[in-house]
Amino acid sequence: MPKDSGIGASSKRREDVRFLTGAGNYTDDINARGQAYVHFLRSDIAHGRIKNVDTSAAEGMPGVVRIFTGKDFEGVGGIPCGWEVTDRHGAPMQEPAHPILAQGKVRHVGDPIAAVVADSLEQARDAAEAIDLDIEELPAVLDMKAAAQDGATLVHDDLKNNICYDWHLGEADNDKVDEVFANAAHVTTLDLVNNRLVANPMEPRVAVAEYNRGTEEYTLYTTSQNPHVIRLLMCAFVLGLPEHKVRVVAPDVGGGFGTKIFHYAEEAFCTFAAKACNRPIKWTASRSEAFMSDAQGRDHVSTIELALDADNNFVGLRTNTYANLGAYLSTFSSSVPTWLHGTLMAGNYKTPVIQVNVKAMFTNTVPVDAYRGAGRPEATFQIERVIDKAARELGVDPIALRRQNFITEFPYDTPVALTYDTGNYHGTMDKLEAAADLAGFAARRAESEAKGKLRGLGVNCYIEACGIAPSNIVGMLGARAGLYDAATVRVNATGSISVMVGAHSHGQGHETAFPQVVADMIGIDESMVEIVHGDTSKIPFGMGTYGSRSLAVCGSAMVKATEKVIEKAKRIAAHLLEASEADIELKDGQFSIAGTDKSVAWGDVTLTAYVPHNYPLEVEPGLEETAFYDPANFTFPAGAYACEVEVDPETGKVSIEKFTAADDFGNIVNPMIVDGQVHGGIGQGIGQALLENCAYDENGQLLSASYMDYAMPRADDVPFYAVDHSSQTPCTHNPLGVKGCGEAGAIGSPPAVVNAVLDALNSGGKAVDHIDMPVSPSRVWTAMNG
């Protein structure tokens, strides 16, 4: 029986009511009295030397408050990178300056050159057009392999080359790896591209900043997944402001998907300019601006090799990847191709020897950083595509080949630095085979063929490292932050509870799911618990929401704080019941003496805590507890996905006919929300696989600069998805046994789609062994006729 409340119940989302009635409060809905508007004049070329920015004609134009250029930010800090990666020789990565407004050079289309503050946005735009730019265009650095060559044009003149770092993980001894491959019975090699994507949360980025001269306090409203991180980075590294004088609020945020983790120049600018202009400053990105200023995702070019012995056991895996970082280092960009990608190259398989090599490149493109999955989709795509190719080459069943090589004993130390605490990969594959009715595929293929269509089945597995992350481990790996989280459980006198959490909800449903946990622990109605998030002045601290961490990390802090609350409440209850604290039990909101019918209600205890007339003298009044939680390990959600496609052989058009996901997320708090997270991830994964492509031309101009050319998945591009998460191996090291579910769909789905397309083409007699994503009709047709 499904539960109707508490942990495990599909409680309806309370936040929906405001969103469904137009009563949400997104950043662009916020207007400060007397606010001015900023328009950023952005580079329309990819690479150039700034010779002069003449603002004189623009200064006096109607409504202009002030015009800022890079010169105004000399002596001000730049946008920092939060993760220092050490290269294969032990040297720190090359870390170029990232000014708020361009200084010396422009390095990508969209690089901000000047900021015009005016009474209205249109006046700011008018004045920006009157700024006279003298920029010497330079050759654009775009191709990563060419950029790595000696003598290549430099994106950053003060760096020795365009390579941010040349990094390595796993087996360091090249000879040993060579030997494994030389002795292998079979080697499968695959060159592939993980296409660059634009995250495209439906809400564009917005910032509204105010400065109060009386209190010397700043308030920044911004579209962020992690307001405390923004405050820390902006105060400590960019503007040099005292943290206690800066309040950062991320109100309702319309989706993030990673791209709203990062600290951006625009929000620092608004904060800076609010004081400089003595007016609130508002910036709202247009979608066109988002395409050239939001950090983008993926963009890896890889060669992967898989070695198998005569029995088809995986014996070695070697991968060489060029990872595009764009023109500057965005906040967590450096960690994505390394610690979020290389560490996942074992996948679900017990491959004994793995070597990962990554060259991270600067190019004249928009910065690249984490996008839903962040490194893990790139790893999964490589592994699962090369296995599929190997199965085809060997003429073996791709599922059997995977099963044969599954890791089955836990904990398992991979050759690439992780310890998987638990999992059951056969279990999820069993669920998948049943849920996807793989037995019925042949009949469905015959039906498709009768219609003149090719039908293909693609299956793959995935594993991800979530619950990011143990601070001591990431600290050793170069993170410049801890990745714990925090929660305060504030019980009010009447028994209702406010929980201040460091996680930020921008679609994940924390306002519903988190109360389910607290209410379940105490045995009260969920409606008595309210979540407060997104405001540095209201919550203790928080590292925010990304890496499928909210429940696993912040939720654990919330559990710890709730346990402290319960412990104290029991002491009060024991006093009221004149019993020993050890004999007090809490069930269904009643404290009772074990084995008796004497009890006192939750509300009586909480009232006593605040009206302590009859009260234990050794206990402080009040009932509020804070806990910080630093995870002991990553969590490891894993699963198996199946996709069935039809291909129109005349046009190359692919349609997704059936998509099935079997995930192991450990324990689940709200199954409805978990399903929704998986659906959304699959939608994005299908988008990557079939539709989305952020492309630049040879001059570094963005070709997919709007929704006219960047193909977002629409309702009729996708089917209903079948989602199963009944195979559960609870996480062994957090109190809820949860693993995280936010990114799985986006990680697990692209290879299933591509594998399915290739299966379809091969079933039609076309010996095609790879097509790069997006697998567009044009590319499919070209592959079939090439």
Kindly give the pairing relationship between strand 584-587 and strand 132-137. Answer: unpaired
Site string for other proteins, 617-656 (x = CB under 8 A): ---------------------------------xxxx---
Q: How far is the CB of 758 from other proteins (least distance, A)?
A: 19
Which one of 507, 544, 631, 730 is in contact with other proteins (CB under 8 A)? Answer: 507
Site string for other proteins, 689-728 (x = CB under 8 A): --x-x-x-------xx-xxxxxxxxxxxxx-xxxxx----
Which one of 16, 137, 179, 447 is in contact with other proteins (CB under 8 A)? Answer: 16
Of 769, 7, 122, 779, whose CA–CA distance to 391 is shortest?
Answer: 769
The number of beta carbons lying within 10 Å of the beta carbon of residue 276 is 16
Element (H, E) at 679: helix 671-686
Q: How far is the CB of 259 from other proteins (least distance, A)?
A: 11
- Residues 90-149 touching other proteins, rule: CB under 8 A, are 122, 125-126, 129
Which one of 9, 13, 47, 663 is in contact with other proteins (CB under 8 A)? Answer: 13
Kindly give the pairing relationship between strand 112-118 and strand 721-724. Answer: unpaired
| Residue 19 near other proteins by CB under 8 A | yes
Q: Is 510 helix (H, G, I), strand (E, B) or coil?
A: helix
Give the interface segment with other proteins, choosing from 200-208, 236-244, 377-385, 438-446 (CB under 8 A): 200-208
Which one of 21, 52, 215, 614 is in contact with other proteins (CB under 8 A)? Answer: 21
Smaller CB separation from other proteins, 316 or 652:
652
- Residues 580-599 touching other proteins, rule: CB under 8 A, are none
- Residues 22-81 touching other proteins, rule: CB under 8 A, are 22-24, 26, 28-29
- Residues 262-301 touching other proteins, rule: CB under 8 A, are 286-288
305 vs 311: CA distance, rounded Å: 17
Which one of 3, 12, 176, 244 is in contact with other proteins (CB under 8 A)? Answer: 12
458 vs 381: CA distance, rounded Å: 13
364 vs 48: CA distance, rounded Å: 10
Of 714, 711, 715, 718, whose CA–CA distance to 691 is shortest?
Answer: 711
Of 265, 229, 343, 246, whose CA–CA distance to 78 is shortest?
Answer: 265
Which position has the token pair 């039906």?
A: 447
- Residues 517-536 touching other proteins, rule: CB under 8 A, are none
Q: How far is the CB of 210 from other proteins (least distance, A)?
A: 19
Smaller CB separation from other proteins, 19 or 406:
19
CA–CA–CA angle 659, 661, 667 (5° rounding): 155
Which one of 675, 736, 755, 761 is in contact with other proteins (CB under 8 A)? Answer: 675
Q: How far is the CB of 121 from other proteins (least distance, A)?
A: 10
Phi, psi for residue 670 in degrees, rounded to 5: -135, 100
Q: How far is the CB of 638 from other proteins (least distance, A)?
A: 19
Q: How far is the CB of 301 from other proteins (least distance, A)?
A: 18
Amino acid (1-letter code) at residue 271: T
Which one of 195, 508, 516, 727 is in contact with other proteins (CB under 8 A)? Answer: 508
Q: How far is the CB of 398 from other proteins (least distance, A)?
A: 23
Tokens of 698: 């040879």
| Residue 434 near other proteins by CB under 8 A | no
Which one of 258, 676, 750, 751 is in contact with other proteins (CB under 8 A)? Answer: 676
Tokens of 669: 């708090």
| Residue 483 near other proteins by CB under 8 A | no
The number of beta carbons lying within 10 Å of the beta carbon of residue 546 is 27
Q: How far is the CB of 718 from other proteins (least distance, A)?
A: 6
Which position has the token pair 């790893």?
A: 379
Which one of 681, 737, 748, 751 is in contact with other proteins (CB under 8 A)? Answer: 681
259 vs 378: CA distance, rounded Å: 17
User: 443: burial class by Cβ within 10 Å (0-12, 13-18, 19+)?
Assistant: exposed
Asked if residue 262 lies in contact with residue 205, where contact means CB atoms within 8 angstroms, the answer is no
Q: What is the DSSP-derived secondary structure letter of residue 721?
A: E
Q: How far is the CB of 290 from other proteins (least distance, A)?
A: 9
- Residues 209-268 touching other proteins, rule: CB under 8 A, are 252-255, 257
| Residue 10 near other proteins by CB under 8 A | yes
List beta partners, residue 642.
459, 660
Q: Is 26 helix (H, G, I), strand (E, B) or coil?
A: strand
Amino acid (1-letter code) at residue 338: T
Give the interface segment with other proteins, choosing from 464-472, 544-552, 594-602, 774-782 (CB under 8 A): 774-782
Smaller CB separation from other proteins, 96 or 713:
713
Q: How far is the CB of 434 from other proteins (least distance, A)?
A: 13
